[in-house]
Amino acid sequence: MPEKKMDLHRKKDGFNGQKAIVLPTKIIKSCENSPLINHLFITDIGFYPKAQFHYRERLTGISQHILIYCADGKGWFQLNNKEAEIKQGQYFIIPANMAHKYGSDESNSWSIYWLHFKGCSADHFTHLLSKQKTQFSGNVNFSDERIRLFNNMYATLENGYSADNLGYINMCLWHFLSSFCYPDIFYVPINKKEKDAIDISIDFMQQNLHQPLTLQELAEEVHISASHYSALFRKKTGYSPLEYFNHIKIQKACQYLQFTKLRVKEIAYKMGINDPFYFSRFFSNMMGQSPLEYRNRKQ
């Protein structure tokens, strides 16, 4: 594979239609401490379409396991000093703490769905997917159901880190990984539900991240008294409305830091915060690192 060319042209990220979520440190710790989901849980998730010059190299690996599914185009990966090509309809798995490299083909850029995961059972999935660490890639037929499941996990996380959301997406993670372990018997039923007042309120939050909304304003939007609204919101999500709103703001701020060149001051304004120093403290408290440290990290 043409690694030297990849080195010359590599860039961080910046692909039209890209999306990614990195869970805050505090949320990851809550997953580790939850008997319900500590066996298997997502720490990072995203989609990079037509990711030309996408490249990653980690000399000592990372603490999470990584699954990358190529939906279009092609690329390559290197593990145990062996390099392999990845084409449309193939996936590869990278065990935690294993040195690795991977990248997109320069002439036929890949489109990839990817996630990082941890947990007590994560090693077992990785062993299964990597054939006991002897074969790190495999083939799967394209499935609309698999993509819908991935998008559902992503969309649920976009709506915040409530206990219900985390429980749901990490239970879905078992199903999603099983689609690669047992592709021939994979099937995803589709269930739809009507939105209640809290769902509508969360949609409103998403559409108004640039506003410093108050509890009273949020309650009025769904025509519920502030005290009743707050109780309903906490019962459903496990968080107060404003705490939940802050989670969503930080999630969006992370995306601006990762995918744009906006200054921290500009991102703060987009989150409805006029004091960039307050925003930096707020961000650091939530994510465990400053905005600039987050921007300079490798995904």
Residue bearing tokens 């979520």: 21
Mean pLDDT of 81-110: 96
Q: Roughly what angle, to the nearest 10 degrees, separates helices 197-207 and 241-259?
A: 40
In the structure, what pLDDT confidence band is assigned to residue 43 with cuts at 50, 70 and 90? Answer: very high
Beta strands in the chain (DSSP E): 19-22, 41-48, 55-58, 65-72, 74-79, 82-87, 90-94, 100-104, 111-118, 137-139
CA-nearest of 40, 18, 38, 42 to 30 is 38
Average model confidence (pLDDT) across the chain? 91
Residue 195 CB burial class (10 angstroms; 0-12, 13-18, ≥19): exposed
Residues 55-64 pLDDT 10s: 999 999 999 9
Take residue 248 and report the two structure tokens written for it.
């969503």
Query: Which pLDDT does position 71 carry in this prediction?
Result: 96
Q: Is the pLDDT of residue 20 over 60?
A: yes
Query: Which pLDDT does position 186 carry in this prediction?
Result: 78
Q: Is the pLDDT of residue 132 over 90?
A: no
Q: Is the pLDDT of residue 10 over 50?
A: no
Q: Is the pLDDT of residue 134 over 90?
A: no
Report the predicted TM-score, pTM, of the whole model to 2 decimal places: 0.80
